[in-house]
Structure 1
Amino acid sequence: TKASLEPAKAGIPVAVMPMPMSGVSGPVTLAGTLVEDNAEFLCGLVIVEFAGPGAPVVYSGACGTVNFRTGLETSSAETMLLNAGLTQLAHLYDLPSESRGMRSASKLMDAQAGYEMAIALIPHLLSGPDIVLGLGGLEGVRINSPVAMVIENEIIDYALRYIQGIEVNDETLALDVIHSVGPRGNYLGERHTLEHFRERWKSRIADISSFEAWEAEGVKSLDAVAKEKVRGDPGHP
């Protein structure tokens, strides 16, 4: 708490992050943990505002869950639900929100890490935090992997394309182009295609070529490509 007072006096944004552990330092039920976290956040908010009236404050959500078989804090569906709930509370108070990243319980950047990170992104997309912190976290967050961070960035970029949706207007409906091309034509040579084909989402690291092309390039796995990007090898800006 003391560390937040001087920044508050100087008008520096302060992130208040209570971090109760559901089932240990907070109730085992998710709703109960949200109640405790929110109460602690509001307490911190009051303290910060006393130190610096009008100081900017970020509602920072970082609730955790414990694995009752091992006693370890771990990434879980409940962890992400809790932090989505805290983001919604931040929206209720009209405060900027910060939420923990899509960390995995895996110890390396494998299939488990990939699917856990991708699924953990869903609550973020639904709740809409302003800041997502802690990218590249493995084993809960005890390991931070630059390779995982690169892959996680790809997952986020991919998902952001989903939430952009489909733009519908006269230009995108392309009725005049459809009539012009007709049933026996194709659209490759059309100006409309030339003007819009660059709008397609482009992967930075995933291989989308044929098997033969992938084989000719050295049969590289995704994590190998991500490692090259981390090292700044040519071809991976």
Structure 2
Amino acid sequence: MTETRSTFGTFTRLTLAAAFPLGLIIARSAYVGELSGTFLMWNLFLAWLPLLFAAITIWAERRGLLLALLPAAAWLAFLPNAPYLVTDLMHLAANSRVPLLFDTVMLFSFALYGLALGLVSLRWMQTLVTRRWGRWLGWGFVLGALGAAGFGIYLGRYVRWNSWDLVTQPQLLLNDVLARLTSPILYWHTWAMTGLLAALLVFTYWLLTVLARSGSSAQGDGAR
């Protein structure tokens, strides 16, 4: 029951936090006199799906492991959409209509929020795996998921595949993925960028765990 309340509380707080990046989009649109940044709002919606599927997985797992497999697979498929918002920083450019610093803050807030959504969902999934199969398998799961997410971000940004293609064009997507897996030298750029993105995700997840432990230590010291 305590874990469920904690999950719900985190979910609620992250929902409320969306007001900041969305507020910046609204302010920018009002400033230029037209709706702008619609792609960011769509990407933000997609970034929410991993957190939603992780919450469903936690709920389903308590009613049976088999019941949790489908939402867990959906979580992994959509996980890259959350940190994908980091790559939207590529859209940053000088614009005479809007101060560059404003766009910098706006894009950074979306990137940071996307990372938070993805990494919190991973934290939930790691807790589930650790509870069932132990700490080491839990961390192995984290590294595997972050590696897969790095690959997914690459496919989305450079090859323009997206998570929906798993349903709408599964054969074409599978053929492309297999080609890159079986010919790593030919597709060296794929794996170089995947490694870079995965390293960034591992680094930020490590920072998240440090902050979480720091908060726990501070609470423990305060209770003494």
TM-score range, shorter chain: under 0.3
TM-score scaled by length of structure 1: 0.27
Q: Choose between structure 1 and 2 for higher RCO, CA contacts under 8 A separated by at least 6 residues.
A: 2
Larger Rg, first or second structure (1 or 2): 1
TM-score scaled by length of structure 2: 0.28
Instruction: Name the structure where helix makes up a greater proportion of residues.
Output: 2
